[in-house]
Amino acid sequence: MASLALLACMATASLCAPFYARDIAHTDPFRSNVAGSFTLDGQQIDIMQPDDNPLHLGLSPVGPTWRAPFFLGADSQGRDVAARLLYGGRNSLLIAFFAAALCMILSATVGIFAGFFGGVLDMVLSRIMDIMWAVPVYLFAISLSIVTIAQGLKIGPFTIASDNLLLPIFIIALVYIPYAARVVRGRVMTLRNAEFVLAARSLGVPRFRILMVDILPNVTGSLVALAPLLTALALLTESALSFLSIGVQAPAASWGTIIQDGEGLIYTRPMVAMAPGLAIVLVVLALNVLGDTLRDALDVRDSRRENG
Q: How many CA atoms lie within 13 A of 108 on its CB side?
A: 21
**The binder of another protein chosen from 9, 32, 154, 190 (CB under 8 A):** 32
Q: Closest separation between CB of residue 61 and another protein, Å?
A: 10
Q: Does position 251 bind another protein by CB under 8 A?
A: yes
Q: Does position 206 bind another protein by CB under 8 A?
A: no
Q: Does position 77 bind another protein by CB under 8 A?
A: yes
**The binder of another protein chosen from 1, 43, 44, 57 (CB under 8 A):** 57
Q: Does position 222 bind another protein by CB under 8 A?
A: no
Question: Cα torsion at 96, 167, 136, 177 (round to 10°)?
Answer: 60
Q: How many CA atoms lie within 13 A of 306 on its CB side?
A: 17
Q: Of 75 and 214, which CB lies nearer to another protein in the complex structure? A: 75
Cβ proximity of 196 and 210 under 8 Å: no
**The binder of another protein chosen from 14, 27, 76, 126 (CB under 8 A):** 76
Cβ proximity of 230 and 288 under 8 Å: no
Q: Does position 54 bind another protein by CB under 8 A?
A: yes
How many other C-beta atoms lie within 10 A of the C-beta of residue 43?
A: 8
Angle between helices 177-192 and 119-134 (to 10 degrees): 150
**The binder of another protein chosen from 58, 136, 206, 217 (CB under 8 A):** 58
Cβ proximity of 93 and 301 under 8 Å: no
User: Which residues are CB-contacts of 187 (< 8 A; sequence separation ≥ 6)?
Assistant: 111, 115, 218, 219, 222
Q: Closest separation between CB of residue 66 and another protein, Å?
A: 22
* Cα–Cα dist 239/269, whole Å: 20
Helix (H), strand (E) at residue 218: helix 216-243
Cβ proximity of 34 and 84 under 8 Å: no
Q: Does position 35 bind another protein by CB under 8 A?
A: yes
Q: Of 107 and 145, which CB lies nearer to another protein in the complex structure? A: 145
Q: Closest separation between CB of residue 259 and another protein, Å?
A: 14
* Cα–Cα dist 282/85, whole Å: 14
* Cα–Cα dist 44/172, whole Å: 45
Q: Of 250 and 281, which CB lies nearer to another protein in the complex structure? A: 250
Q: Does position 51 bind another protein by CB under 8 A?
A: yes
Phi/psi of residue 48, nearest 5 degrees: -95, 120
Q: Which amino acid is at 166?
A: L
Q: Does position 147 bind another protein by CB under 8 A?
A: no
Select the span of 49-57, 86-94, 175-183, 216-224 touching another protein (CB under 8 A).
Answer: 49-57
Q: Does position 252 bind another protein by CB under 8 A?
A: no
Buried b (16+ CB within 10 A) or exposed e, 253-277: bbbbbbbbbbeebeeebebbbebbb
Q: Closest separation between CB of residue 131 and another protein, Å?
A: 31
**The binder of another protein chosen from 12, 267, 304, 307 (CB under 8 A):** 267
Count of residues near another protein by CB under 8 A:
24
Q: Does position 220 bind another protein by CB under 8 A?
A: no
Q: Of 34 and 194, which CB lies nearer to another protein in the complex structure? A: 34
Q: Does position 146 bind another protein by CB under 8 A?
A: no
Residues in the site for another protein, rule: CB under 8 A? 31-32, 34-35, 48, 50-51, 53-60, 76-77, 250-251, 264-268
